[in-house]
């Protein structure tokens, strides 16, 4: 009989938690819907827990790890992004933390694609027109037109898991694809997509030749009709190619005035003041955002300016918010299931207790021999 583990979850992550209850864990779940105050997280960690289940709303840093000294064995985060967890601090305290990569890849990529389509074809504005009874006639171009996605050029910034999935979806719409990633380039995948493109042309499924290639960041900015961002948030000092404010006044000005920006990565990757100005002054045609520098989006955000309402789509950090993706207790399908499994792996010593072999642990570098 394994010993009873004590776990605190900063949020209710659904029935996947039953897996822990059934295994005899002593589990406390923060009952409110909003994030717990930081002081409460510290207090719970101090109380002697073995495992902490977190979401991206929680700040996990040295103070938390210090509070867990001697007993905290794992932090299991229900998200693929982990910019709220201080990796250097986790490594200093030798606490492994896990994430839920892969199971949200397709859901996030399809949402990015739908955001791009909704923005370009002005679906929000069109529905408002209908609902507000302002649709007075069918007309060839009044009161407005949208822009097609099919056959256009999309730039994928960050060709990791979600970027590659987005490429696959864009290929279904016969888009030309510019790829940019300074750290990881999957040429095999890009070659396979080109083969699919060539087959679609050869078999008459599509009419014109389309292409995919890796390019420089500048080329991606200059040549794309759509830019979709799929990078982690990396601040100065965390990477040779940080992503904080990757989209700023200088880079937004490099985009075509007819181009659209889609961001499902992390809010601080885009300088929102610069973006609001870019939309007001029409340096670019539009933007669709799922993530913000401050979440939830503050009431006084310049992105809420009614002047840019028709070309600025705003979503509530929703890209992974699909039923199975968020809540399935199957670790191969759901974020909740994968989060719980990551916690179990560490606490119950799966993989021969070798943390470097545990698939969902992020900071393996702290545990090498
Ligand atoms: P990943 O690690 O597989 O891919 C990220 C890629 O970005 C990597 O290939 C990396 O080399 C690249 N990269 C790093 N710095 C870069 C730079 N300066 N310019 C261009 N590329 C750079 O991660 P993933 O699973 O594809 O997820 C990507 C991010 O998406 C996550 O870190 C998370 O922040 C975000 N995300 C958001 C939601 C949502 O609900 N909106 C859901 C899932 C993931």
Nearest to 20 by CA among 326, 363, 346: 346
- Residues 134 and 98 grouped into a single domain: no
Overall number of domains in the chain: 2
The residue nearest atom 40 of ligand 1, judged by CA position, is 319
- pLDDT single digits (tens) 129-160: 999 999 999 999 999 999 999 999 999 999 99
Q: Which atom of ligand 1 is nearest to the CA of 319?
A: 40
User: What residues pair up with 261 in beta bridges, in sequence order?
Assistant: 227, 287
Tell me: pLDDT of 1 over 50.
no
In a domain, 1, yes or no: no
Instruction: Give the up-direction half-sphere exposure of residue 346: CA atoms within 13 A in the CB hemisphere.
Output: 31
Pocket of ligand 1 (CB under 6 A): 80-81, 101, 104-105, 108, 157-163, 180-184, 230-234, 239, 241, 243, 246, 264-266, 290-291, 317, 319-320
Record the pTM.
0.98
- Residues 222 and 338 grouped into a single domain: no
Give the per-residue pLDDT at 2.
Answer: 57
What's the mean per-residue pLDDT of the chain? 97
The residue nearest atom 12 of ligand 1, judged by CA position, is 158
- pLDDT single digits (tens) 295-342: 999 999 999 999 999 999 999 999 999 999 999 999 999 999 999 999
Annotated catalytic, 317? yes
CATH number at residue 257: 3.40.50.720
Domain boundary, last residue among 274, 294, 314: 314
What is the residue range of 235's domain? 105-314
Burial environment of residue 314 by CB neighbours within 10 A (0 to 12, 13 to 18, 19 or more): middle
Cα-Cα-Cα-Cα dihedral of 10, 15, 19, 22, to 10°?
A: 100
Burial environment of residue 338 by CB neighbours within 10 A (0 to 12, 13 to 18, 19 or more): buried
The model's confidence at residue 266, banded by pLDDT at 50, 70 and 90, is very high
Q: Which atom of ligand 1 is nearest to the CA of 264?
A: 41
Q: How many CB atoms lie within 10 A of CB 291?
A: 23
- pLDDT single digits (tens) 189-240: 999 999 999 999 999 999 999 999 999 999 999 999 999 999 999 999 999 9
Annotated catalytic, 139? no
The model's confidence at residue 51, banded by pLDDT at 50, 70 and 90, is very high
Give the per-residue pLDDT at 90.
Answer: 98
Tell me: pLDDT of 3 over 80.
no
Residue of 77, 79, 81 with the most ligand 1 atoms within 8 Å of its CB, for mutation: 81
């Amino acid at each position: 009989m394994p010993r009873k583990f004590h776990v605190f979850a900063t949020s209710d992550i659904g029935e996947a938690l039953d897996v822990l209850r059934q295994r005899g864990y002593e589990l406390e779940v923060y009952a409110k819907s909003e994030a717990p105050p930081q002081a409460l997280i510290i207090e719970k960690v101090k109380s002697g827990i073995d495992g902490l289940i977190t979401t991206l709303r929680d700040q996990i840093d040295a103070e938390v790890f210090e509070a867990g000294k001697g007993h905290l064995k794992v932090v299991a985060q229900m998200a693929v992004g982990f910019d709220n967890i201080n990796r250097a601090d986790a490594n200093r305290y030798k606490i492994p933390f896990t994430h839920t990569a892969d199971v949200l890849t397709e859901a996030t990529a399809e949402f990015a694609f739908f955001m791009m389509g909704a923005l370009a074809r002005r679906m929000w504005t069109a529905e408002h027109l209908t609902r507000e009874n302002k649709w007075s006639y069918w007309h060839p171009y009044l009161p407005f037109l949208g822009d097609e996605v099919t056959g256009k050029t999309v730039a994928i910034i960050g060709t990791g898991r979600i970027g590659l999935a987005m490429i696959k979806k864009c290929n279904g719409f016969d888009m030309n694809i510019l790829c940019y990633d300074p750290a990881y380039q999957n040429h095999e995948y890009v070659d396979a997509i080109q083969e699919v493109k060539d087959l679609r042309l050869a078999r008459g499924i599509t009419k014109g030749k389309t292409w995919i290639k890796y390019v420089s960041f500048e080329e991606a900015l200059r040549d794309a009709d759509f830019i979709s961002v799929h990078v982690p948030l990396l601040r100065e000092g965390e990477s040779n190619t940080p992503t904080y404010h990757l989209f700023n006044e200088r880079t937004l000005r490099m985009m075509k005035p007819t181009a659209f920006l889609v961001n499902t990565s992390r809010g601080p990757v885009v300088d929102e003041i610069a973006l609001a100005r870019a939309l007001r002054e029409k340096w670019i045609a539009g933007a669709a955002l799922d993530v913000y520098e401050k979440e939830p989006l503050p009431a006084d955000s310049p992105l809420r300016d009614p002047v840019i309402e028709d070309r600025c789509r705003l979503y509530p950090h929703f890209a992974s918010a699909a039923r199975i993706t968020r809540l399935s207790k199957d670790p191969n399908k759901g974020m909740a299931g994968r989060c719980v499994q990551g916690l179990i792996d560490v606490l119950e010593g799966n993989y021969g207790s070798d943390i470097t072999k545990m698939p969902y642990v992020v900071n393996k570098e702290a545990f090498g021999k």
